[in-house]
Amino acid sequence: MKKLHQESGNVSKGEYIFGHLFGAIGILAGTPAKWFCLPLTMNLQDGVNTILGWNQPDGKETPSHVVQMIEQGFATAGVFGNAILLLDRYFLSVPALERMNTCHRSSDTRMHLVTKAKSNAVAYERPASRKPGRGRPPKKGATIKLKELFITRAADFQPAKVLLYGKEETVQFLGLDLLWGQGWYQELRFVLVQRGTHRSILVSTDLTLAATDIITLYGYRFKIECTFREMKQVIGAFDYRFWSKSMPKLRRYLKKEEAQPLEQVKDTQDQQRIRQTLRAMECFALCQCIAMGLLQLIALRYSGHVPGLFFRYLRTPSRAVVSEATVVAYICKSIFHLFNQNQHLPITQFIRSRQDTADFDADSLAS
């Protein structure tokens, strides 16, 4: 359990909460009419360093969840091929860029990041040519406060029509290749975007991507939030209740200089029970990822072939691909009827083997 902070426009959500910090990797799957973020892997990435450290007697530290996301994304790219990883603005950091460059040196697979910079981000121009004389050549040029460019270079912004959140929007943008990262100074492509009164600073490590493509790609990142919402509200992916008496009591008002309660657990059996509890949580979440992926694939594959998928009343019904919630409602209504119609299925045979034959035949006739 970890104290988490997140600014949100939802007044019903506290600014600080105690919860579990999950990280997930998914792929963008679907059609131009409907995109899904199909989850591939999910695990607890923060607040568990002490537990994972019990398995590492050499004292090796577990990487931060920012670095873990880069590693997991690169491992996924190794399976699917070269990829673009869409991340929130929190993940634009020097450790993330360092880890990505390290992965590139050890593999032929290439993965680039498209993310968002903070509003107070600072970049640097390329260094000027080296002046004659002693000393090291400069690594950076003049400092640029990116948010000030919305005013100082307003005349240089270009209009463009891009597809954002399923709708065609008109935006103003300015693309610049600048150095970023104190002490790191990697060249990144920054795209300053203004849509009405809303301003954003997007970033890409791929210097060949067009500015409009970066804007469109970052818009797809919202599909990650949609998947988490459906996993939470539709299939109850985070409704687990795994616990252990060996886990220490949570201290809500722990001071920074005080030791974490988990660090005081020294008994080997207690540590083993806590590790098993952690594994149960992650396995439960992974099973829900499989369930969510199946719902999304059913929606993509059978929306046009099964009229029953459109039986729900919706204020704005989908005319192309239905949502995960609609698939769940359809399956809940018709799953036993489908089992009865397809008695050759292994799962139907398994259920029959565990039921009394007379009761099963009566239920079949009733259905």
Topology at the third CATH level for domain 2-127+138-233: Transposase Inhibitor Protein From Tn5; Chain A, domain 1 (3.90.350)
The DSSP result for 109-145, as a single string, is --EEEEEE--TT-EEEPPPPPPPSSSSPPPS---EEE
Q: Does position 362 have pLDDT exceeding 60, yes or no?
A: no
Percent of the chain with pLDDT over 70: 89
Please work out, in degrees rounded to the nearest 5, the angle formed at the alpha carbon of residue 95 by the alpha carbons of 93 and 96. Answer: 65
Longest dimension (CA), the chain: 97
pLDDT score, position 315: 61
| pTM listed for this prediction | 0.85
pLDDT bracket for residue 250 (50, 70, 90) = confident
First-to-last C-alpha distance (Å) of the chain: 45
Q: How many CB atoms lie under 10 A from the CB of residue 230? A: 20
| Domain-wise residue ranges, the chain | 2-127+138-233, 303-366
Compute the average pLDDT of residues 315-325. 76
Kindly state the tokens that stand for 44. Answer: 């607890």
pLDDT score, position 336: 85
Please tell me whether residue 209 adopts helix, strand or coil conformation: coil
Q: Does position 306 have pLDDT exceeding 60, yes or no?
A: yes
Paired residues of 51 in beta bridges: none
Compute the average pLDDT of residues 114-126. 94
pLDDT bracket for residue 57 (50, 70, 90) = low
Compute the average pLDDT of residues 143-170. 92
pLDDT score, position 18: 83
Rg (CA), the chain: 25
Higher-confidence position of 207 and 134: 207
pLDDT 10s digits, 26-44: 999 998 878 999 999 999 9
Burial per residue of 94-105, b for 16 or more beta-carbon CB atoms within 10 angstroms, e otherwise: eebbebbeebee
Kindly state the tokens that stand for 329. Answer: 């409602």
pLDDT score, position 33: 78
